[in-house]
């Protein structure tokens, strides 16, 4: 058995144990207003970090390219309260156009 499969099995077991442990947490800790507020903000922070890393970095350096223009169009579309598909299509079209022009 290779190291890949051993690490996969160990990781799977750890994830199962962590998920199972979540059911053992008393409900009073999960319904605490502070915990609810923190849990509602975690996905936003993670998604923001992912967008920043994917938009502004490449091979361990900060880069400026067509992705910034696409991100800018997405931000403007969101500020104008455009539907989500329009935001995604606008950002993708802008990034693709600038990529093919340059």
In the chain, pLDDT over 90 holds for what percent of residues?
65
What is the spatial distance between Cα 102 and Cα 81, in angstroms, rounded to a whole number? 30
Structural domain count of the chain: 3
Which whole-number Å values give the CA distances from 101 to 54, 56, 67, 98, in the listed order? 21, 20, 13, 5
Residues 1 and 17 in one domain: yes
The pLDDT confidence band at residue 64, using thresholds 50, 70 and 90, is confident
pLDDT tens, position by position, 1-37 = 789 999 999 999 999 999 999 899 898 888 899 989 9
Residue 56: pLDDT band with limits 50, 70, 90: confident
Residues 79 and 98 in one domain: yes
Print the domain residue range for 10: 1-25
Give which of 58, 57, 66 is closest to 97, Cα–Cα.
66
Amino acid 97: pLDDT: 95
For 68-99, give the secondary structure using H, E and C: HHHHHHHHHHHHCCCCHHHHHHHHHHHHHHHH
**Do 56 and 68 belong together in one domain?**
no
Q: Are residues 52 and 69 in the same domain?
A: no
Identify the pLDDT of residue 27.
Answer: 87
């Amino acid at each position: 058995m290779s190291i890949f499969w051993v690490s996969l099995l160990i990781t799977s077991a750890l994830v199962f144990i962590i998920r199972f442990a979540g059911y053992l947490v008393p409900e009073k800790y999960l319904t605490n207003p502070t915990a609810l507020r923190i849990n509602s903000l975690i996905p936003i922070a993670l998604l923001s970090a992912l967008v920043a890393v994917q938009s502004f970095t490449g091979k361990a350096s900060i880069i400026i390219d067509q992705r910034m223009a696409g991100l800018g169009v997405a931000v403007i579309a969101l500020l104008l309260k455009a539907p989500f598909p329009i935001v995604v299509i606008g950002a993708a079209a802008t990034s693709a156009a600038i990529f093919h022009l340059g």
